[in-house]
Amino acid sequence: MFRRSAPQDLINATERNLQPIVQKYLDKGINPNVRTHIDPWYQGLQLLALAAIHGHVDLLKLLLERGAKVDGLDLSRRTALSWAAEHCQYGAVKVLVEHGPMSMQRM
């Protein structure tokens, strides 16, 4: 299944931390690195970044377990960690650092 952007209900579920809906999409084979559509707010964010912005730690863990790239870049060349830090989501920052590349874990 190839998609250029995530379905709107998947984006909404990620924002609202509705894990069963996100899980359903992942089970159907949607790529956990799919980007949101492009508009002034979303900027082509990956689902991981969207979950990080809102501090949804358990959803971050689910996406990471299903293959989301912790160092994936959005269209503005930012990572989920960058977004989590900007939005003071310290729990999300901790999870992303723990799942990050080895160089990130030594910080």
Residue 68: domain span = 8-105
Q: For residue 80, what is the domain's CATH number?
A: 1.25.40.20
Of 86, 87, 107, which Cα lies nearest the Cα of 97?
A: 107
Assigned domain for 2 exists: no
Per residue in 48-80, pLDDT tens?
999 999 999 999 999 999 999 999 998 889 999
Task: Count Cβ atoms within 10 A of the Cβ of residue 4 and give its class: 0-12 exposed, 13-18 middle, 19 or more buried.
Answer: exposed
Assigned domain for 51 exists: yes
Percent of the chain scoring above 70 in pLDDT: 84
Q: pLDDT at position 1, please?
A: 43
How far out from the chain centre does Cα 56 lie? Answer: 9
Number of domains forming the structure of the chain: 1
Percent of the chain scoring above 90 in pLDDT: 66
What's the predicted TM-score (pTM) here?
Answer: 0.86
